Copies of this chain bind each other. A is one copy, B any other.
Amino acid sequence: MESIALQDIQQAAERLRGIAHVTPVQTSRQLDKASGASVFLKCENFQRVGAFKFRGAYHAISTLPPEQQGKPVVTISSGNHAQGVALACRLLGRKAHILAGGLTSQIKRQAVLDYGATIHDAADHLDAERKLPALMAELHGVYIHPFNDPWVIKGQGTVMLEFLSAVPDLDIVLAPVGGGGLLSGTCIAAHGIKPAVQVYACEPAGALDAMHSVRENRIIPMPHPQTLAEGLKTSLGDMTLPILRKHLAGFFVVPEDEIVPAMRFAFERLKLVVEPSAAVALAPLLRRESVLVGKRVGVILTGGNVDLSGFFEQLTG
């Protein structure tokens, strides 16, 4: 398998310049006080489509080889990757097809449709996987995997390039782990620039497959993950596992009952709208994990796509 280097991520950053946002880094006295650390928040909730996923999707689609130019792009996703692919295709003048199980959020559906993509509904993720071959054959499409794709990983790695450019002296970086695409890019970028920085994966206890997979060095999927952090239910892939195994300093397991309080801290104290998956990377700070105390800790706030319709209905109601 091709190995990804810092230079690949730097090239991805060139390609994304002026297209993806260079998201701001924020700090908070209240968070520093609560955690005992100096915390820096890389706000990918402010990224286009509301999540870092746009970076990888755009990078992968924009670098497709010439023989795949013009082919429709297909992906399986009911989450932020779907929006990332849809927007990237719109910007690149391509047709996007989103195969999705359980794309029930009206706002996410509408966003994908607004970008001009076609949604193919499936009963669930498994059903979507079953339907993929026929759809690919019908469309003569090119498939963009949400994370197990070197071009996606390179795109996601650009988050960390920007982060270390804004805050060069980070000791530790925290990011949530689902399929490991963001985290793989983060590890390669971080260690390419500053080998001493420690990268930790934050994983919800209800979807604790990545930690076991990395420890046993084989992909151990979790059959029925149960977590509010929808985006983190996926298992690692064969590209992300070896990268994480090589680079990670460790895992923080986040019990389910720490996710909503971390989200609430973000909304109420930081005034940031973050989704549950992003809150997972805040939680270890809020419980004052001892290895973080006194350190300069970077947190990747991965996204802000959360269904707020209930709240706004209450407000108008």
Contact = CB atoms under 8 A, between A and B. Distances in A.
A46 B24 CA distance: 13
A316 interface: yes
B310 A264 contact: no
A50 B312 contact: no
A272 B271 CA distance: 6
Interface in A288-308: 304, 308
Contacts of A144: none
A132 interface: no
Contact of A26 (B24, B308, B312, B314): B24
B29 A316 contact: no
B264 A312 contact: yes
A50 B308 contact: no
Interface in A27-77: 29, 43, 45-46, 48, 50
A107 interface: yes
A273 B270 CA distance: 9
B310 A314 contact: yes
Nearest to A21: B29
Contact of A311 (B26, B274, B311): B311
A311 B266 CA distance: 13
A306 to B, nearest CB: 9
Which of A228, A304, A314 counts the most B-chain CB atoms under 10 A from its CB? Answer: A304
A228 B228 CA distance: 31
Interface in A72-125: 107
A260 interface: yes
Given A29-B48, A315-B260, A308 B267 contact: yes
A312 B271 contact: no
A47 to B, nearest CB: 9
Contacts of A316: 260
Interface string A262-294: 011001111111100000000000000000000
A312 B29 contact: no
Contacts of A24: 24, 26
Given A263-B312, A268-B308, 9 more contacts: A29-B48, A45-B271, A260-B316, A263-B315, A267-B273, A271-B274, A271-B304, A308-B311, A311-B311
17 contacts: A24-B26, A29-B48, A45-B271, A50-B269, A50-B271, A260-B312, A260-B315, A263-B312, A264-B308, A267-B308, A268-B308, A271-B272, A271-B273, A271-B304, A272-B272, A273-B273, A310-B311
